[in-house]
Copies of this chain bind each other. A is one copy, B any other.
């Protein structure tokens, strides 16, 4: 349950955290002067070594944030959440690295390098910039074109075996060798910025590296664990095992997961504010009661409401969100009115984003040149 003032336990997430040693975010966040609202609202709920990143921020030292993209289909509001975090860290002075996983797309999804590149630029990078990421201060690259990353992956391949890859990623004997190799390119994506940043700062040789943060969903934790493990296996590189934060997934419009491949569940960043789009948003799952009378009497259930979640993730400051919560709980605000208000916010946001995206397209096209 997401509120500006408390984090309700989510059993599922809590179990995973306990089993794998992910810490709750609260203590680390307390160190920050201006935490992101995702951190206060329990949307970012767990971490590994984020306390060290908080220290780095407070000491105004250099750090890097890595957030890979596998361009497949369209970006939706759940993806926006990741970009919002990148913008936050960019404003705190972090160096932002955005690898485009065209090698993995080729091996695992049979996408040509050309297709991936086009999609990355037009759908993803254009939106990243439109959402507010400063394109002049990001390091975007295609995996297939980054010699440093590719060479590091070749090195890392020495100390990982098939059994290990199989147990983490479920590979079979029929899996193609590229697909088996792909996670090592991703590990290199995460570790390589440490080398680049050290070099930029003029720190050469086997010195301790600039720390790296990877903000991910909880499903990516096995990959983070592997990366941290591998970092420790290559002592001579003096890697710092990357820090990570874990965020909740956005709920889809009909409950369940918001999914790129299911239009009825997602608000795409390129959705046009047509009648049918309005209908899609207005038909979403809310925390309303069976009848209007019941709702006025018992109040609504924002804990189960997709509209409330959309507002909490994307459109409200603490004061507004608290008001919404209380008005819903008291039965004062009914679902019809609330949905309409939310739709207007979404609609305004998408219209504005479209204009910004059109303006960003040229820069996006040039960013990989």
Q: What's the Cα separation between A103 and B151 when bound, in Å?
A: 10
Across the A-B interface, give the 5 residue pairs with the lowest CB-CB distance, nearest first. A157-B178, A163-B173, A157-B177, A158-B178, A162-B173
B-contacting residues, A141-184, CB 8 Å:
144, 147, 150-151, 154-155, 157-163, 165-166, 171-181, 184
Q: What's the Cα separation between A205 and B309 when bound, in Å?
A: 53
Q: Which residues of A contact B (CB under 8 A)?
A: 103, 106-107, 144, 147, 150-151, 154-155, 157-163, 165-166, 171-181, 184
B147 lies within 8 A of A162 (CB): no
| Least CB distance, A215 to chain B, in whole angstroms | 27
Contact A174 B154, CB 8 Å, known A147-B147, A181-B181: no
Q: What's the Cα separation between A179 and B134 when bound, in Å?
A: 41
A163 lies within 8 A of B157 (CB): no
Partner of A178, one of B107, B154, B173, B176: B154
Q: What's the Cα separation between A151 and B113 when bound, in Å?
A: 12
Most buried by B among A160, A175, A177: A177
Chain B residues near A107 (CB, 8 Å)?
157-158
B177 lies within 8 A of A162 (CB): yes
A181 lies within 8 A of B161 (CB): no
Q: What's the Cα separation between A103 and B158 when bound, in Å?
A: 10
Q: What's the Cα separation between A174 and B176 when bound, in Å?
A: 17
Number of copies: 2
A-B contact pairs, 21 of them (CB 8 A): A103-B154, A106-B155, A106-B158, A107-B157, A144-B151, A147-B147, A150-B150, A157-B176, A158-B176, A158-B177, A160-B177, A161-B175, A161-B177, A162-B162, A162-B175, A162-B180, A163-B173, A165-B177, A177-B181, A177-B184, A181-B181
Chain B residues near A150 (CB, 8 Å)?
150-151, 154
A159 lies within 8 A of B173 (CB): no
Apart from A157-B181, A161-B173: 17 A-B pairs, beta carbons within 8 A? A103-B154, A106-B155, A106-B158, A150-B154, A154-B178, A158-B176, A158-B178, A161-B176, A162-B162, A162-B171, A162-B173, A162-B175, A162-B177, A163-B173, A165-B177, A177-B181, A181-B181
Q: What's the Cα separation between A178 and B230 when bound, in Å?
A: 14
Chain B residues near A154 (CB, 8 Å)?
103, 144, 150, 178
Chain B residues near A147 (CB, 8 Å)?
147
| Least CB distance, A178 to chain B, in whole angstroms | 3
Q: What's the Cα separation between A144 and B184 when bound, in Å?
A: 17
Contact A163 B159, CB 8 Å, known A144-B154, A147-B147: no
Chain B residues near A178 (CB, 8 Å)?
154, 157-158
Chain B residues near A158 (CB, 8 Å)?
106-107, 176-179
Chain B residues near A159 (CB, 8 Å)?
176
| Least CB distance, A55 to chain B, in whole angstroms | 35
